[in-house]
Structures are given as structure tokens and as C-alpha cells.
């Protein structure tokens, strides 16, 4: 393929030939520079899709109570958008582990200290060790919860942090010897390894945030399937999520289809358990940009005979803008959704890929770190 080939021309070739978009080939394409006529994301209007309500464990200091060590609270745009006070999109389950084990507000800071081969939770000002209390509370509290779909925890907290908590060689040291998870955060990761867990810092990255939203709403949808306990519900879940699974992991998508076929005639509860294990694997990592583009091209094929050359060219240019991180996924999605309505395509309208979480959560602002990871 010639290096001067324009990305949109390559997509048009794939559309006409029925071939999948090759990611390696795209590395040779000329960079696209979008013009000022690039469409903006769809207005944040609800479309009537019956979204479930995810249940999310959240650090209480993020807008629910002034319970930080210094007596303050912290602001999180994501938590506020999800509905910290109104519960519009999710049901939050706030917890402050440090207050729960008896530490006051305000309180002297605690820190993780490595003593020999053990990590201990120490309050330097009093030399008190809260390791046992925190570990026991975390296990008991998390065991008391049910139907959890994910967690948002305070980053760098010696109790709630999940991966960036400083570990010190002694209670008085100013120089850490490493980083890891806080005591409560580590227990969340241990007890819910299949669920999405993020902190408010990582959620400023648009792709991490979108992946988190997709996972918590998919988990909540699947809870409905388990509650319904019927093959019909499971088949419908697979059908509606086919394109989303195609974008995330085609291998798992095919395996899940075989599980539903159930040629071994296994009991329904075993089928659902097996299916859920592969569902977790399918969403373990975010969908790559080129995987999303392949799904978008697949959907475009439904309208290839009805659209004008100019409409298809504009759409392909929009895909190039998305590939170059110049436009969010909501832009090509909005174009396709308009054609679904225009040409009355009910199958695509039912696909969660085009609306995996409520449109009101779409946000184009970003920390500047939006990329595959």
C-alpha cells in the first residue's frame, strides 16, 4: 500500500471490498487534519433506553462527607456527574474506612510502613498500628455488600488507594521505598477481582473513564440477566451486546456464543456462570481505536446503498479524526444513529455499542492522556 494513501480512501476500499480495517496498514496513512466543519458530539439527551442503576462503592470523602484527615472533602467531576447527591445514574455506597475504625475528624495522618516483609498501617504521631482493625473492617464491610458493579476510591490514600500509595521504610521517614495499594483498596481488589475499580485521578482520562462507564453499566445489565434466570434473557443480552463485544474481544464473543448454544445441555445456572466468566475476560481491557473503527465500518455497511458519496466520505473523514484523537467516539456514533432513524434499522438501534451508558455522561474534556493503554 502506498504511503500517500489517505486514511479515508483506505476505509472506502474496506467498505467496498468487505475487508476488515488493518491496524498495521493504518500506520502508513497520511495524518488527517480535520476542518472546522467537523460535527460536535450529540446533545446530551436521553433516548429512552432503559438503563439499570449500577451500585458503586465510593470513598465517602469525595463529596459525601467532610471526613478527610484534615476535616475537608474533595471534589470529583466524575462522581458529581454520576450523581453524588442525586443518585441520577448510579447508586453510591459511600464508606470512609478510617472513620469506621474509630479515627476522628480531623485526625493525624496514617501511612503504610514496611516492617520486614510486612506492610503495616501506622499513625506516626501516636505510633499506633491500625493494620488489624483496617483489614478486619474491610473484609467485614465488603462481605456485607451485595450486587456491586464497581468502585471509585480515593487515590494515594493509605486506606483507599488502589495502586499509587506511598510505602515508607519507617514511621518517620520522608522518602518512600515503593508504592502499592492502601489497606482497604487492596481488599477491594482481592475480593472483587472481576469488577472495575478506579480512582478519581485515573478517571480524568477520557478513555479510562469511558471504559469504566461501559463496564459498570454492562455489569448492571447482566445482573438483570441473572435475576431473570432464563435462556431467553441471556440470548437477548448477547444479541444486544454483539457489536460491543466485537469491539472489545472477538475471540471471547465467539466463545460466549458457543456457551449460549449449550450443546452440552448444561443446567442454566452453569451456563450463566460460565458466560459471566468470559464476559469479565472480554471487558478486561478497553476496546482499541481500530477495533471500534472496524465495528463502525461494519455498521456503515447497513447503509452503504442508501447514502450518497458525499455522506460516506464525510463519515470516513470523521473516522480518521477519531483515529487521530481529534474527535470522540460519540461523533461517528451520532452520525450512524441518525441514519438508523432515517433508514429504520431496528437491529442497530438495539445495539449497546452505540449507547453503552446514558448519553448524559458523555464528556469530551480530558486530562490530556487519552490513548490506548
**Residues 78 and 181 occupy one common structural domain:** yes
For the residues 179-199, what does the mean pLDDT come to? 97
pLDDT of 1 reads: 41
Give the residue numbers spanning the domain of 346: 1-49+206-373
344 and 210 together in one domain: yes
Give residue-wise pLDDT tens across range 6-38. Answer: 565 566 666 656 666 665 555 544 443 333 332
* Tally of structural domains, the chain: 2
Q: Work out the percent of the chain whose per-residue pLDDT is above 90.
A: 79
Band (328; pLDDT cuts 50, 70, 90): confident
DSSP string, 313-332: HHHHHHHHHHHTTSS-THHH
Residue 367 has a pLDDT of: 46
Average pLDDT value over all residues in the chain: 88
Give 85's pLDDT tier (boundaries 50, 70, 90).
low
**Tell me, what's the pLDDT at 13?**
61
Residues 128, 114: one domain?
yes
Highest mean pLDDT among 86-95, 250-259, 360-369: 250-259
Both 252 and 373 in one domain: the answer is yes
CA dihedral 339, 344, 349, 351 (to 10 degrees): -90
Give yes or no: residues 214 and 137 share one domain. no
Is 162 found in the same domain as 19? no
Task: For strands 55-59 and 150-153, give the pairing.
Answer: parallel
* Same domain, yes or no: 321 and 230: yes
Rounded to the nearest 5 degrees, what angle is found at the Cα of 62, between the Cα atoms of 61 and 68?
25
CB 245 within 8 A of CB 287: no
Complete DSSP assignment for 250-296: HHHHHHHHHHHH-TT---HHHHHHHHHHHHHHHTSSPPPHHHHHHHH
Say yes or no: 108 and 128 in one domain: yes
The tens digit of pLDDT for each residue in 61-84 reads: 999 999 999 999 999 999 999 985
Domain finish residue from 180, 203, 226: 203
| Domain final position from 153, 184, 203 | 203
**SS3 label, residue 114:** strand
The pLDDT of residue 269 is above 50: yes
Can you name the residues that pair with 118 across neighbouring β-strands? 115
Residues 123 and 266 in one domain: no
Are residues 125 and 244 located together in one domain of the fold? no
Task: Clarify whether residues 99 and 74 are in a common domain.
Answer: yes
Same domain, yes or no: 229 and 373? yes
Cell 480530558 belongs to residue:
366
Residue-wise pLDDT for 190-216, tens only, equals 999 999 999 999 999 988 999 999 999
Q: How far is CA 72 from CA 63, 79, 98, 253, in A?
A: 10, 16, 14, 46
Question: Does the pLDDT at position 348 exceed 60?
Answer: yes
Amino acid at each position: 500500500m502506498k504511503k500517500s494513501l489517505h486514511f479515508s480512501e483506505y476505509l472506502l476500499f474496506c467498505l467496498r471490498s468487505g475487508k476488515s480495517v488493518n491496524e498495521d496498514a493504518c500506520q502508513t496513512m497520511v495524518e488527517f487534519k480535520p476542518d472546522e466543519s467537523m460535527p460536535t458530539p450529540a446533545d446530551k439527551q436521553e433516548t429512552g433506553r432503559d438503563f439499570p442503576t449500577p451500585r458503586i462503592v465510593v470513598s465517602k470523602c469525595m463529596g459525601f462527607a467532610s471526613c478527610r484527615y484534615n476535616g475537608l472533602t474533595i471534589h470529583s467531576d466524575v462522581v458529581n456527574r454520576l450523581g453524588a447527591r442525586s443518585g441520577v445514574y448510579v447508586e453510591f455506597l459511600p464508606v470512609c474506612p478510617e472513620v469506621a475504625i474509630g479515627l476522628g475528624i480531623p485526625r493525624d495522618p496514617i501511612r503504610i510502613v514496611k516492617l520486614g516483609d510486612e506492610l503495616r498501617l501506622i499513625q506516626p504521631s501516636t505510633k499506633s498500628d491500625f493494620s488489624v482493625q483496617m483489614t478486619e473492617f474491610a473484609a467485614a464491610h465488603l462481605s456485607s455488600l451485595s450486587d456491586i458493579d464497581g468502585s471509585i476510591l480515593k487515590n494515594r490514600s493509605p486506606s483507599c488507594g488502589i495502586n499509587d500509595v506511598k510505602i515508607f521504610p519507617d514511621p518517620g521517614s520522608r522518602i518512600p521505598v515503593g508504592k502499592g495499594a492502601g489497606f482497604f483498596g487492596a481488599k477491594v481488589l482481592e475480593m472483587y477481582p472481576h469488577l472495575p475499580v478506579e480512582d478519581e485521578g485515573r478517571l480524568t482520562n477520557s478513555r479510562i473513564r469511558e471504559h469504566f462507564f461501559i463496564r459498570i453499566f454492562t455489569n448492571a445489565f447482566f445482573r438483570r440477566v441473572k435475576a431473570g434466570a432464563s435462556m431467553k434473557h441471556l440470548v437477548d443480552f448477547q444479541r444486544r451486546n454483539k457489536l460491543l463485544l466485537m469491539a472489545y474481544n472477538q475471540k471471547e464473543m465467539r466463545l460466549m456464543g458457543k456457551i449460549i448454544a449449550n450443546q452440552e445441555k448444561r443446567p442454566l445456572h452453569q451456563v450463566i456462570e460460565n458466560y459471566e466468566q468470559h464476559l469479565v475476560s472480554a471487558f478486561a481491557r478497553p476496546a482499541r481505536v481500530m477495533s471500534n473503527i472496524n465495528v463502525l465500518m461494519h455498521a456503515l455497511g447497513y447503509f452503504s446503498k442508501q447514502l450518497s458519496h458525499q455522506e460516506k466520505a464525510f463519515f470516513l473523514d470523521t473516522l480518521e479524526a477519531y483515529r487521530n484523537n481529534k474527535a470522540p467516539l460519540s461523533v461517528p456514533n451520532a452520525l450512524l444513529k441518525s441514519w438508523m432513524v432515517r433508514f429504520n434499522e431496528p437491529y442497530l438501534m438495539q445495539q449497546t455499542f452505540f449507547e453503552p451508558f446514558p448519553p448524559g455522561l458523555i464528556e469530551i474534556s480530558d486530562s490530556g492522556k487519552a490513548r490506548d493503554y
